[in-house]
Amino acid sequence: MSSINNQTTITFLGTSTAVPDLGSDTASFVINGKYLVDTGWSVIPNLRKYEIDPLNIEYLFFTHIHHDHYLSLPALIFYFTMKRKDLASLKIVGPADDLEKVVKLAQQFLQFERFFEDRGTPTLIPLQPGDSYEDENFVLHTCETVHPVQGLCYRFTDKLSERVFSFTGDTAYHPPIADHVKGSSLLIHEASRGPIAVDMNNNPALHSGAVDAARIAEAAQVEKLLLIHGPLSTADECVQVASQIFSKSVEWPKDGHTTIV
């Protein structure tokens, strides 16, 4: 789904945990029908299921390079290759520490040197936390997340709709994120640990609970909080506890749901 009357749209391909609930996928979504955020496990079937042509994807934004967030990158590259679309037209933005490595490994897995040596490679845009990137249709600003690998929290400004929203990727509770996302219409924040506040002294995986996400949203005074990337069995309870802290709207979107920012 593309932008509607210059409104910014977000279609969720999956909102479940790292090993997703049956019938769902891990966290992944599409902005304005053409900007993909992470791939989840099954990006091509998910895009087609929700009537988004994979060949319309212009950008892929990686929040970080953990397996569940890039697992079907080879499938996306293979689809472009089999449909003979110029791979350089696919721009991949992500953490500088790991971006080039994972794209190279994806092409090695597909045996590009043997079968597709003339097909080129996606255009890579590696970013360090704090970097910005501008396209004719949007602006990205980033800040660091707190996770075992380098991660980026993105603040996305849609130049066409003039709407601003932010998404964290995986992160422990990190108060500076609130300053980074302040003024956003919408914050998409992970809640992998369910309806709790995570004890930072016992958080080796460096994830957040719904209470942590709500604290960030309240401090930032965003207009709406969407929780994703946790067990779907806890979704309703996560919304309930977050709503006790964050004074505005809280939801856990369903797969296939489109939000208008």
Q: DSSP assignment, residue 3?
A: -
Q: What is the mean pLDDT of residues 55-83?
A: 98
Q: pLDDT by residue (tens digit) across 237-249?
A: 999 999 999 999 9
Q: How many CB atoms lie within 10 A of CB 260?
A: 15
- pLDDT over threshold 70, residue 5: no
CA torsion angle for 154, 158, 159, 164 (degrees, to 10)? Answer: -70
Q: What is the mean pLDDT of residues 188-202?
A: 94
For residue 1, what pLDDT band results from cuts at 50, 70 and 90?
very low
Quote the pLDDT of residue 200: 85
Q: pLDDT by residue (tens digit) across 23-51?
A: 999 999 999 999 999 999 999 999 999 99
User: Is the separation of the CB atoms in 7 and 260 below 8 Å?
Assistant: yes
- pLDDT over threshold 90, residue 3: no
Domains of the chain: 9-260 (3.60.15.10)
Quote the pLDDT of residue 118: 87
Express as a percent the part of the chain with pLDDT over 90. Answer: 94
Q: Which residue has the higher pLDDT, 31 or 5?
A: 31
Q: What is the mean pLDDT of residues 179-207?
A: 95
- pLDDT over threshold 60, residue 4: no
Q: Which residue reads 């929290």 in tokens?
A: 153
CA torsion angle for 207, 212, 216, 217 (degrees, to 10)? Answer: 110
Q: Residue 45 class from Cβ within 10 Å (0-12 exposed, 13-18 middle, 19+ buried)?
A: middle
Rounded Cα gap, residues 136 and 223, in angstroms? 26
User: Is the separation of the CB atoms in 120 and 88 below 8 Å?
Assistant: yes
For residue 201, what pLDDT band results from cuts at 50, 70 and 90?
confident
Quote the pLDDT of residue 137: 97
Q: How many CB atoms lie within 10 A of CB 60?
A: 23
User: Is the separation of the CB atoms in 71 and 39 below 8 Å?
Assistant: yes
Q: pLDDT by residue (tens digit) across 114-150?
A: 999 888 999 999 999 999 999 999 999 999 999 999 9
Here the tokens at position 22 are 């049956």
Express as a percent the part of the chain with pLDDT over 70. Answer: 98
Question: In the chain, what's the furthest Cα-to-Cα distance?
Answer: 56
